[in-house]
Amino acid sequence: MIEVQHISKTFQVSRRGAGFSEAFKALFHRQYECIKALDDISFRIEDGEMVGYIGPNGAGKSSTIKVLSGILTPDRGTCSINGRIPWKERTAHVNEIGVVFGQRSQLWWDVPVIDSFELLRDIYRVPRRLYDSNLEELVTLLKLEELVRTPARQLSLGQRMRCEIAASLLHSPKILFLDEPTIGLDAVSKIAVRDFILEQNRKHKTTVILTTHDMQDIETLTKRIILIGKGKILMDGSLEHIRKRFSATKKLTVEYRGKHIIPCDGMELCSSSNQIASFEINPDKLGVSDAIAHISSQVEVRDLSVESASIDKIVANLYQQYQI
């Protein structure tokens, strides 16, 4: 169980304008600004939960992950993960967690991936039998047979990321922190990685905390979302809840034969061309079936589709609404 209470962390950032004279001035008088990376963060995550941690760039996502994995000491606040304070009992704590930083590599550049894996086995002191069975499982699920014998520098980004994820799971961690695990991956690799994470959570009850900008990740993986902006937690709730609250509207697209469609109250015409029209429907005022009935009373409908607003759009709305 992860329990975070009132964590705050401030960074000093030196700032200056562009140009020679500004740089020269900064030599003698440096201006620092305090940036509140984390501002009174509290949340609680149960064992086996999968949580999406989202927010715009610079919101404090990575800082939170660093605090939770014990490599950053907050200025204030407490945090207890399975009964331990990460930054105080770092060594004992990190034995139970796996971390993937999507933008960095933990594999040794010049040697085959399997050598890095064996080094990790020794570092975590994973018993031989457990290591073998974990390795076999990871190699099969992530399709690494060929890759593990290749030096890391010769792998493509997607191949390397699969190896990175495997490397973080060799010691069967109870908690997995994924900091942008699908960054830069192609569609096939993304789906492979997502399926794998789901499988891990289902089979081993691994708690997963995921930061990402890819809303597809959030949609397929997590039920719960924590939204952070400017270091503060703005919202913590289920994906469904957020969907209902922030994107009530549905999009209805019709292909029809006939004259123009005149929208009724509760629906709004978004676009219309070539006998195809799309409407935004506000379900508080108008049911979807009523809208369809209204349209088909005017024209002959040939094809029709109803969509909820995309999660990307919801999140963009959220960011806008909270002004972050």
Query: What is the binding site for another protein (CB under 8 A)?
Result: 11, 62, 66, 69-73, 90-92, 94-95, 97, 99, 101, 103-106, 108, 110-111, 115, 118-119, 122-125
CB of 259 to another protein, least distance (A): 56
Smaller CB separation from another protein, 10 or 298: 10
Smaller CB separation from another protein, 92 or 270: 92
CB of 312 to another protein, least distance (A): 22
CB of 292 to another protein, least distance (A): 47
Smaller CB separation from another protein, 9 or 250: 9
Q: What secondary structure does DSSP assign to 91-138, as a single string?
A: HHHHTTEEEEETTS--S-SSSBHHHHHHHHHHHHT--HHHHHHHHHHH
* Nearest alpha carbon to residue 162 among 221, 117, 211: 117
Smaller CB separation from another protein, 108 or 246: 108
Smaller CB separation from another protein, 92 or 293: 92
Contact 144, 99 (CB under 8 A): no
Cα 244 → chain centroid = 20
CB of 127 to another protein, least distance (A): 12
Q: What gap in Å lies between CA 56 and CA 47, rounded to an integer?
A: 27
Smaller CB separation from another protein, 26 or 191: 26
Contact 236, 203 (CB under 8 A): no
CB of 148 to another protein, least distance (A): 15
* Nearest alpha carbon to residue 255 among 308, 306, 300, 291: 300
298 Cβ contact partners less than 8 Å away, ≥ 6 residues apart: 258, 259, 261, 262
CB of 119 to another protein, least distance (A): 5
